Structure 1
Amino acid sequence: MTRMSGRPFARRLSAVTAFTGLVLAASFTLAVPASAHVEVESKGASALAENVTLDFNAETESDKAGIARLEVVLPEGIEPADITYEDGPAGWKLTATDRGYSVGGPAVAAGEDVAYAVTVRQLPDAESVAFKTLQTYSDGRVDRWIELEEPAGGGHGSLAPILELAPAEPGAKPLSPTPSPEPATETPSSPAEETDTATDSAESSAADTEDEGTNTLAIVAVVVIAVACVGGGAWWFRRRSGAGTS
Structure 2
Amino acid sequence: MMASRIAAAGAAAGAAVLALSAPAFAHVTVQPEGEAAKGGYAVVDFKVPNERDNASTTKVEVTFPADQPLASVMPQPVQGWDIKVTKSTLDKPIESHGRKITEAVSKVTWTADGDGIRPGFFQKFPVSVGALPEDADQMVFKAIQTYSNKEVVRWIEVPQEGQEEPESPAPVLELSETEDDHGHGASDSSDSSGSADSSGASGASSEKGSGDTGSAAGNTAAAGSSSDGTDTTARVLGIAGIVVGAAGVVYGVFAGRRRGTA
Q: Compute the TM-score of the two structures, normalised by the length of structure 2.
A: 0.53
| Alpha-carbon distance in structure 2 between the residues aligned to 1:139 and 1:158 | 19
Per residue, is there more strand in 1 or in 2?
Answer: 2
Corresponding residue number in structure 2 for 1:16:
6
Deviation at 1:17, TM superposition (A): 3.0
Which residue of structure 2 lines up, in the alignment, with residue 110 of structure 1?
Answer: 118
Kindly state the Cα deviation for residue 137 of structure 1 after the two structures are TM-superposed.
Answer: 1.4
Counterpart amino acid of residue 115 in structure 1: K
1:14 Cα deviation after fit: 4.6
Q: Which residue of 1 aligns with 2:147?
A: 137
Tell me the percent identity. Answer: 28
Cα deviations by residue, 1:62-86 (Å, 9 ceiling, x for unpaired): 122211111111123134x631011
Q: Distance in 2 between the 1:47 and 1:83 partners?
A: 16
User: Alpha-carbon deviation of 1:103?
Assistant: 1.9
Q: Which runs of 5+ in 1 are unaligned?
A: 1-9, 172-246
Shift of 1:170: 2.6
Whether the 8 Å CA contact 2:83–2:108 is kept in 1: the answer is no
C-alpha distance 34-55 of structure 1, shift in aligned 2 (>3 A):
same
Coordinate RMSD, CA, aligned: 2.8
TM-score w.r.t. length of structure 1: 0.56
Deviation at 1:37, TM superposition (A): 0.8
Aligned amino acid, residue 44 of structure 1:
E
- Structure 1 stretches (4+) deviating beyond 6 angstroms? 152-155
Distance 2:79 2:148 in 1: 15
Alignment size in residue pairs: 158
User: C-alpha separation between the residues in 2 aligned to 1:26 and 1:142?
Assistant: 31
Shift of 1:133: 0.5
Q: Which residue of 2 aligns with 1:92?
A: 82
Counterpart in the other structure of 1:64: 54
Relative to structure 1, is the Cα distance of residues 153 and 55 closer, same or farther in structure 2, using a 3 angstrom cutoff?
A: closer
SS at match of 1:61: coil
Aligned pair partner of 2:131 in 111, 116, 122: 122
**CA–CA separation in structure 2 for the residues paired with 1:154 and 1:167:** 25
Once the two structures are TM-superposed, the CA of residue 57 in structure 1 deviates from its matched residue by 0.9
- What residue number does 1:77 align with? 68
1:65 partner SS? coil
